[in-house]
Chains A and B, each alone.
Chain A
Amino acid sequence: MSRERKRKLITSVLSILFAATVLLNFFNYEVPTFLWALDGIVLFGLLSYYIITQKLVTYMVKRSLEAAVVLVIIATMTFLLLRIIPGGPFDQEKALPPEVIANIEAKYQLNEPVYMQYYYYISGLLRGDLGESYKYVGRSVTDILAETLPNSIQLGFYALLISFLIGIPTGVIAASKHNTWIDNLSMTLAISGVSLPSFLVAAIFILVFCFSLNWLPPALWEGPEYYILPIVVLGIRPAAVIARLTRSSVLEVISSDYIRTARAKGLSERSILFKHVLKNSLIPVLTFSGPLIAGILSGSFIIEMIFAVPGMGKHLIQSVSNRDYPLVLGVTLIFSVLLVLSNLVVDLLYSFFDPRINLS
């Protein structure tokens, strides 16, 4: 078997593996643990292989240390900011007697000096203990995250998937048909996608697909038919941004010298577009993807509220109004970890897509 065929075979097997996971998950089947494990091992393996062959081990160590420092700074800042803003976690309409307040403060160690509270928090964090929510009494922050984050990730993952699947081809097509009606139409759509607020899009979609056509349920998170609307609404804006980025980037690359060379060699327009232009055009899209991935995976407050998705997004907002210190810190840290990780992956992908970028 030739090298090329081997590569193709491996790619296909892996694609089937991932597609199976995605589809089983989407259609609400129990995804077997071995499949999750296999996915994890393959992804991790690919990543490690890439890191080792590209001699990026020192780079990764350096970046991980940097990330740790960033996370500690974020945890500290959040901790301090929460103590600075007026209003405490147990302030409420009906004032409590001093005895009762004293007991609550003692229970949560809020009666101790701030530096001691900080010490307890950081030492808990090092033990992997994010503490207990003040609002949801008896539930640990870890439990809350473990119950809600998977739903946010599920929603976010599909939204990302469709935004890339729609955004990149639209951008490429628009660029290759530059200044034609196709280009104009797709860019008009893209601009609408960027500028329409998601709650408006959600309202329109609910009106059309639930109440006029009666195809889909208006909310809840119970199965595939429930997933479609929130995923599409969440995916529209990033899809539009990606389409615009891809288009301008493709246009720029198309007019570069090496493409002219390729054309001069007599390569077909199609092979130029897919083999030479696309890969290099994806750099700006990648830059945008880092924060996008973190933002979308950690849950969108508006989408989760409108479609009653039991995700983490609402805790991002509500924990702050509740002054639920441990939960605020928990969701902030999760968001930061996602952000740091996705930026790291994006940086690795830079060097993959554009060998001129040398990370080591």
Chain B
Amino acid sequence: MKSVMEWFSHVLLIITIVYIFLFGLIWFYEPVRALASGFLLGGLISLYNVFHLAFRLKIAGLRAQSGARKLAGLHMTVRILMIVFGVLIVYRFSTRIDYRSFVLSLLFGYLMLVTVMSYYYLRGKGSTSSEEGGEIYGSDSESEISRNDL
């Protein structure tokens, strides 16, 4: 069974490809070129941020699992600097890239993240599999950690 991380990366990759293809096609239509450029730039930065967040979360989880002394962080500065980079590009090429569509599309990745993950859990794929340990958060059965411990 695919883990949630693999599944999420796979779905997000497909969404990214569709997004690039869609706005790449729109970009060829001259009257809305600036708009499409804004959507492309903002959307790709947003999707990169989501990928980065998932990757850092995975690394941090693996470090915590391995019991390493030095824990990994989420590296939020990288994501903020990525947005600053996008804004600087919009500022430099303000006639070619529409800033409104850029700012609007910065939300795309996060909305997609919430939608995709909610879909995952609503479809029932989020239930704990046997390889994840069967029960979580303690229960009345023979789990080592009881609810009182949490």
Partners in one complex: no
Binding site for B on A (CB under 8 A): none
Binding site for A on B (CB under 8 A): none
